[in-house]
Amino acid sequence: MNLILLGPPGAGKGTQGERLTADGGLEYVVTGNILRAAVKAGTELGVQAKAFMDAGDLVPDELVIGLILERVRSEEAKDGFVLDGFPRNVAQGEALDAALSDLGRDLNGVLYFDVPDDEIVRRLSGRRVSEAGRVYHLESNPPKVDGVCDVDGTPLIQRDDDRPETIRKRLAVYHEQTEPLVEYYAARGLLHTFDGTAPAEEVEAHLRKTVSTLRLEDAV
């Protein structure tokens, strides 16, 4: 199964991606987490990516495409992958298509989370994350103990780019550069749209149903 999670920042891709890949069957590739780890480690990639991320812009394709395609081609992803945060523009989508065609593999589906802008602002303003990238929300998904991850006990922080002025910028970048991918995949019959405003458990149930159907289709 080769799947893409598509939607605006804060749509719930990480929340659902963690659940869908918890059994370890599919390689979960989270572009934002890979980039944030590079920034934290101070690698050359991190140094170059940081200013773009802080500003809410996309990191240039030259830095991102090779990095993610390497993961798609890796041994870990040979039984399938879930991409979260990639592709984020049509050039990235085309690069992914070319890489998959070289590998003789296909995309099974694109899972698209539809969430309006005002809800995105509410979600990103209240989002808190653990060091490992686990996702909480101050109101809709609070940790058991204030400020601490339920799973590994690390402190929860607010991402630098989850501040109001950067949230608006990221949404504008989404509409301009990422949203065209909705049509790109719909035109090929790959798009599956989910009401991302439903409670997380409902979204998860709908996603699992669709992924099961895609698995059956893949087996034929």
Query: Which amino acids are annotated catalytic?
Result: 13, 88, 127, 159, 170
- Cα separation of 29 and 65, whole Å? 13
Tokens of 29: 């590739």
Give the residue carrying structure tokens 């997380």: 200
Nearer to ligand ADP, 44 or 165 (CB): 165
Contact region for ligand ADP (CB under 6 A) — 6-14, 36-44, 100-108, 146-154?
Answer: 6-14
Nearer to ligand ADP, 111 or 214 (CB): 111
When asked if residue 93 is in the footprint of ligand AMP (CB under 6 A), the reply is no
When asked if residue 56 is in the footprint of ligand ADP (CB under 6 A), the reply is no
Count of C-beta atoms within a 10 Å radius of residue 212: 10
Contacts of 39 (CB under 8 A, 6+ apart): 46, 47, 49, 50, 53
When asked if residue 8 is in the footprint of ligand AMP (CB under 6 A), the reply is no
Applying CB under 6 A, the site for ligand AMP has a residue count of: 17
When asked if residue 31 is in the footprint of ligand AMP (CB under 6 A), the reply is yes
Cβ atoms of 84 and 30 within 8 Å: the answer is yes
Contact region for ligand ADP (CB under 6 A) — 90-98, 103-111, 135-143, 151-159?
Answer: 135-143
Per the rule left: phi > 0, alpha: psi between -120 and 50, beta: everything else, 133 is left
- Cα separation of 64 and 55, whole Å? 17
Sites of contact with ligand ADP (CB under 6 A): 7, 9-15, 123, 126-127, 135-137, 140-141, 199-200, 203
Sites of contact with ligand AMP (CB under 6 A): 9, 31-32, 35, 52-53, 56-59, 64, 85-86, 88, 92, 161, 170
